[in-house]
Amino acid sequence: MDRRQLDSGRRRVDWTELMATAGAFSLRWVSSANEIPSALWLKCFPPPLEGPWWYKVLECSGLESQFTFAYGVIEQGAEPVGIAPTFLMDVPLDLVAPPLIVRVLRTAGRVLPGFRYQRTVFIGSPCSDEGTVGLLPDVPLAAVAPLLQTALERRARQVGASMIVWKDFPPTADAALTQLCTQRRLFKLVSYPGTRLLLPKGGFPAYVQALTSSHRHNLRKKLRRSKALGDLHVSVLQHPNSDVLLDIFTLFWQTYQKGKTKFERLTPQFFQHIAEEEVSYFVLLRHPERNKLVAFMLCFLIGSRVINKFIGLDYSYRGDWFLYFRLWEQAVEWASGMQATELQSGQTGYGGKLDLGHALIPLSNYCHHQNPVLHYLFASIAQHISWQTLDEDLAGR
């Protein structure tokens, strides 16, 4: 699609004019995570949540053509009590639509390119597994959700967005957001589930023993076949240099292009900035003789949780190399050594993750279209979307 078409109507926002009030609460907008005090970030996004460092990295990673970030600061009286991260995006509708509807969208898009894209304001982060409105412990989501929805609708009108989405919220938010659906005419849309693994003590051997017998047998067989083909040198690195980061990005891009579902498109700048953060660890596999990087996994260690954020594989290592499983073995061993109790592996790529013992975490989007007719249309389509229509690896789950 022509970038000019996507950018048309996107205007600079005067954040001081976009404010909302409801009862004892009010909301004001800021355009950067740096404008919010660190103390409030730490109270509202404590470990194991991704904190201010995450949002600051996204802002400076050259993602402007994909996302416009903004943050709602929620106040009770004169005291700030919460942070609502948001972003603006032109969303390809075939990202979540069932196959039959995807064909219709693509056909119509050849004549009217804008038909395939929906300018959308999201609450959440484009690259986080779960949507979060960070609130102080004594402030329930249900108390501020109507205020947030009002603020989002005002902002959407100003930036030319017709859709509002609470993105990838976990079951703990269901009660508050289901109530919001009734109050403010939203519909619920099934999202790609998250994946999570509880780590037993004892490293990789204890983890393998905790798998079901079939998964244990299959994993051991794959690792045995892979190791018979050759050794790989393992390292876990913080703050890699520019040469290593270039190799990492090259593998990431190769893997990104292979993926079926593409929401965010990361840049070399992202890896440069995220490598500076103390929470970031790179699990690396290299060919021992050529010293060539063949696989990496970027992990965040936040409290007792490790987040398996992004991976990259050299697809010339095919067949019985099973690089993903070699990488996973080292990641589990490292995470266990760091005293982590859970490993979160994100959305998509479910076939391998289910084989490795991950549990699926239901996630939901809550959506509002400003046009009542289109709202009804999208709500009707949402009823036909399930895990199975999103990813064939989830059939029967």
Task: Kindly report, residue by residue over 97-155, the tens digit of the pLDDT.
Answer: 555 555 555 565 565 555 567 899 999 999 888 999 999 999 999 999 999 999 999 99
* Per-residue tokens: 295: 């696989």
What interhelical angle do 213-229 and 323-337 show, nearest 10? 110
Contact (CB, 8 A) for 199 and 332: yes
Q: Which amino acid is at 153?
A: E
Has residue 397 got a pLDDT over 80?
Answer: no
Task: Kindly report, residue by residue over 22-41, the tens digit of the pLDDT.
Answer: 568 999 999 999 999 999 99
* Per-residue tokens: 7: 């950018």
Mean pLDDT of the chain: 89
Q: What is the distance between the alpha carbons of residues 306 and 288, in angstroms, rounded to a whole number?
A: 27
Query: What's the confidence (pLDDT) of residue 306?
Result: 98
Q: What is the DSSP letter of 59?
A: H
- Would you state the torsion angle of the CA atoms of residues 281, 285, 289, 292, taken in this order, to the nearest 10 degrees? -80
Query: What's the confidence (pLDDT) of residue 3?
Result: 41
Q: What is the distance between the alpha carbons of residues 152 and 161, in angstroms, rounded to a whole number?
A: 10
Length of the chain: 397
What percent of the chain is helix, strand and coil (3-state, nearest 5)? 45, 25, 30
The DSSP H or E segment spanning 364 is: strand 364-369
Q: What is the distance between the alpha carbons of residues 244 and 125, in angstroms, rounded to a whole number?
A: 27
Q: What is the distance between the alpha carbons of residues 137 and 91, in angstroms, rounded to a whole number?
A: 33
CA 391 vs CA 2, 97, 350: distances in Å: 29, 11, 8
CA 326 vs CA 228, 241, 358, 394: distances in Å: 12, 24, 17, 24
Residue with tokens 């849309």: 189
CA 52 vs CA 36, 40, 328, 340: distances in Å: 9, 10, 28, 21
Burial of 228 (0-12, 13-18, 19+ CB in 10 A): exposed
Lowest average pLDDT, out of 16-25, 89-98, 104-113, 197-206, goes to 104-113
The DSSP bridge pattern shows strands 117-123 and 163-169 to be: parallel
Q: How far is CA 7 from the centre of its chain?
A: 23
Lowest average pLDDT, out of 18-22, 135-139, 329-333, goes to 18-22
List of domains in the chain: 3-193+362-394 (3.40.630.30), 195-360 (3.40.630.30)
Q: What does pTM read for this prediction?
A: 0.88
Closest C-alpha to 180, from 150, 208, 218:
150
Contact (CB, 8 A) for 94 and 108: no
